[in-house]
Amino acid sequence: MYGYEWTGQNGIYRLSVNSKIEKEIRPVFKEELDYFDFYKHWTYPDTDAPLLWAEGIRRYILNGTCVAEAIGGGFYTKPTIKIYTDNLTLEPIDIDVLWKENERLMLGLEKTSMDFIRKTHDKYEKKGMAFAVAFSGGKDSLVLLDLVSRALSPDEFSVVFSNTGMELSTTIQSVEKAKKHWSSLKFYEAKSHLKPTDSWEEFGPPGRRMRWCCAVHKSVPTILLLREITGNYNIKAVVFDGVRAEESAARADRDEISVGAKNINQINCSPILKWGTSELFIYLLHNGILFNEAYRKGLFRVGCIVCPMSSAWWDSIVSDCYPDEMRELLSNVESYARATKPGSEVKRFIEQGGWKARMGGRGLQNGGNRVVEKIADDKVSFSFISEKQDWLHVCSILGPVVYRDNDIYTQLIDKQEFQFQISGEAQNIVTYWPYSKMDRFILSHLRGIANKTAYCFGCRACEVQCPVNAFTITENGAIYIREDKCTHCCNCIEFTNGKGCLTAKSLSVTGGENGMDLKGMNRYQHFGLRRPWLEHFFEHKENCFTMGSLGTRQYDSLKVWLKEFLHRTEPTLRIGGGY
């Protein structure tokens, strides 16, 4: 990744390892200038060539000088333009001159990336892996695809467009243009069996830390497609992607080769990880492959129409230029906002990105905890408020049910025998024993099965985690486990970091072990549980509450924490009038 410096020639910058300017940069076209009414202040020709550059998305730069800047913007507000230099006359940027200025460094960068692609292919080809290019129709994947097409022959890889169903129309057009441009390549489309409107209804809007959409609408359909293409369920795939370190802090920490980052059967390789946008656009403009028309309107990245990772700049331009395409998903966000905020604050909440911070199901129609857990008398029980799956179909993930005596079942879990019973008027209570034999892994896995039973509607995210083709989602969305194949590895439970189900992770409300409800942190006076408090309590027992060694609010918080931890044990300890 190089910095760049302005040369003094019209719109020409020079890449340099020693340059201090390392801001993201993009070309600005006539369509964007017209959209913001720049013609009222500047004179510029009707041309397909870029006319100037924008640094940091919003600052319009002419030969190193900021001549205008865009301010504000959001879903409901168009950015305003602040003009710093009036009466400018703009000329088209000479792309040939831009290339000549940077040819040596660009050729070196291309060679490094292509060598990496070839070496990676040769290394993993020996292991029988399939190869695919993840294509999105955006600038990164366009550069990536061109490099891979130059490094490998057409029969050595496939091109997979992950059509999320949430793409801009210009992205679909870009894909069609790419198919014509690289007519010798094999293009495939990976698409979820779920419509975006349906998945958003079930999961709720995605959030920055709750991006279920990437799994459901991108990585999972891609793996399923590769299995279909190769006819090999156990296929392991090397996926070349257009991830770049410059795009985010998280991506800056990524390695060029990531094993299992997206899926246990997938290796991600990022040949342009170290490319900056300054190099990227030189390559695209020089080779004449800037296909996506959305860039000409001012978009810096292209992706899903409504995305929790988008900027206010993206939100404002897409909402204004593609309102019909955005309407359905934006209405889903608005419904969520209305359920969590007063009417007067809804638009502000959305424009300021408050919805993008969603972590759980509070405020969602489908949100909330559907399982109540209770531990007593050496048993753990799960009571279901609602169920999506059949416990007997799902529980075999943990081990075979080897015996049944009326309504008592015996199941082997981790080479140990456990009994369970399904009871209740609606057969909605499952009880396992002996609890004393369960380690934290068994208990965690039981909770995962409970969540799958309560929440799973068949998104198929779990299906691709199974290494032996034992986990299947049927056409009606039911979980089916092939008991003769299942190795009880529990990958289909563990990949969600404790929830056991991607939907449960998205919809459950904040809570701790054994159903401890954390929804009102004011009950804890906003204090976490502290070790000195416990030492104080265990030394003085209930007398500690009259000693005054802690502050009043700290004692109040300690009482609540102790009640939460102890209310499912025998009431042998009296705490401030409770147990």
pLDDT per residue rounded down to tens, the chain (579 residues) = 788 999 989 999 999 888 766 678 999 999 999 999 999 999 999 999 999 999 988 999 999 999 999 999 999 999 999 999 999 999 999 999 999 999 999 999 999 999 999 999 999 999 888 899 999 999 999 999 999 999 999 999 999 999 999 999 999 999 999 999 999 999 999 999 999 999 999 999 999 889 999 999 998 998 899 888 888 887 788 999 999 987 655 555 667 888 866 666 778 999 999 999 999 999 999 999 988 999 999 998 888 999 999 999 999 999 999 999 999 999 999 999 999 888 889 999 999 899 998 988 988 988 999 999 999 999 999 999 999 999 999 999 999 999 999 999 999 999 999 999 999 888 999 999 999 999 999 999 999 999 999 999 999 999 988 988 999 999 999 999 999 999 999 999 998 888 999 999 999 987 544 444 444 444 444 456 777 777 777 776 766 665 555 655 566 677 777 766 654 444 444 333 333
Angle at 562 between CA 558 and CA 567, to 5 degrees: 150
How confident is the model at residue 556, as a pLDDT? Answer: 65
Residues 6+ away with beta carbon under 8 Å from 15: 2, 3, 4, 102, 105, 106, 278, 279, 282
How far is the first Cα of the chain from the last one, in angstroms, to the nearest whole number?
A: 61
pLDDT for 526 equals: 47
pLDDT at residue 245, rounded to an integer: 84
* Tokens matching residue 300: 């810096």
Residue type at 229?
I
CB of 360 closer than 8 Å to CB of 409: no
Judge contact between 206 and 309, C-beta under 8 A.
no
pTM higher than the cut 0.75: yes
Q: What is the pLDDT of residue 22?
A: 66
Q: Residue 10 to residues 50, 66, 94: CA-CA distances in angstroms?
A: 11, 14, 8
Please count the residues of the chain: 579
Q: What is the pLDDT of residue 303?
A: 87
d(CA 482, CA 26) in angstroms, rounded, equals 52
CB 519 within 8 A of CB 512: no
> How far is residue 251 from each of residues 2, 237, 242, 258, measured CA to CA in Å?
17, 21, 11, 11
Residue 406 CA to residue 388 CA, distance in Å, equals 24
Q: Is 419 helix (H, G, I), strand (E, B) or coil?
A: strand
In angstroms, the CA 462 to CA 493 distance is 7
User: How many of the other CB atoms lie within 10 Å of CB of 432?
Assistant: 23
Q: Cα separation of 401 and 410, whole Å?
A: 6
300-304 contacts at long range (C-beta below 8 A, 24 or more positions apart)? 300/24, 300/26, 300/57, 301/138, 301/139, 302/136, 302/137, 302/138, 302/139, 302/167, 302/168, 302/170, 302/171, 302/174, 303/136, 303/138, 303/167, 304/164, 304/166, 304/167, 304/213
Confirm if 416 and 425 have CB atoms less than 8 A apart: no
228 torsion bin: left (phi>0), alpha (psi -120 to 50), beta (else) = alpha
- DSSP letter assigned to residue 473: E
Q: Which residues contact 58 (CB under 8 A, 6 or more apart)?
A: 69, 70, 71, 79, 313
Q: Token match 């992205």: residue?
A: 171
Q: What pLDDT is recorded for position 549? A: 58
d(CA 150, CA 134): 16
Q: How far is residue 571's CA from residue 579's CA, in Å, rounded to a whole number?
A: 6
CA 224/CA 460 separation, integer angstroms:
9
pLDDT of amino acid 313: 93
